Amino acid sequence: MKKILVIGSHGQLGSEIHELSGNSQNYIFTTSSDLDIRDKDAVDYYIKNADVDTIINCAAYTNVDGAETDQENAKLVNTIGPKNLASAALKYNAKLIHISTDYVFNGDGIALNGKKRPYREDDATSPCSVYGSTKLAGEEEIIKSHCQAIIIRTAWLYSAFGKNFVKTMRRLGQEKAEISVVNDQYGSPTYAKDLAMAISAIVEQLNEPSAKPHYGKIFHYSNEGVCSWYDFAVKIMSLYNLDCHVKPISSDAYPTPTKRPAYSVLDKKLICKTFNLTIPDWEDSLKDLVKRTL
């Protein structure tokens, strides 16, 4: 039986896919200790011998600040790894679903009628960080390979697993009476469970003859709605019933080694139309996560 290989299975998205799979025998879940995607020969050998039909690459070097100093490893994981997977996918006729990021854009947004509009898949990329640059290079390597691949960019990912903003806010809300959160960076939180369900639906559709025109394309996915990190934090405190005051501050008051996008809203119309998806609003999805973790 042909298998679905999930790489980076201990991360937020990989863990949600694992839970959603219900331990189905159709899935193989690997971590970096099982399969090092930086090693071309190891990837080739694994894909060949595991009889893989579909690869879902959730693995990434996601430490945005760390990537600035650990550039070599960021490139190996975010660029060379996807290149190796694409090469093996082409060689062994496997399909590849690769997860990318909003950081491929400069985060300034695109003006439209005096406002900013969501980033579309065909908007010009201009990363401002090593993380964004290496992820963009990974996209380019996959497209150049001409393997049967689709790329899904996402942003502001959180889940019941791993480290994320929701877990951090809950912990701080339990420990402190007041915290400060930036209110001038806007985006759409992405519930990894929702993205996992979308990927599952896409995997099914990629097995249909009509899937061919989708290969080599980029799609955007995040939850619906727009908020600031401050808005997100306030809602988290409210849903967890935490008595912690959230103070809004500017990005200038919270400097980081790497510039964070001021605007990360993604246009999801293409992925919804192509794969007949309905995307929940971020507030509804956050409520689901809170119910799971109370």
Which of the residues are catalytic?
131
- Cβ neighbours of residue 146 under 8 Å, at least 6 residues apart? 90, 216
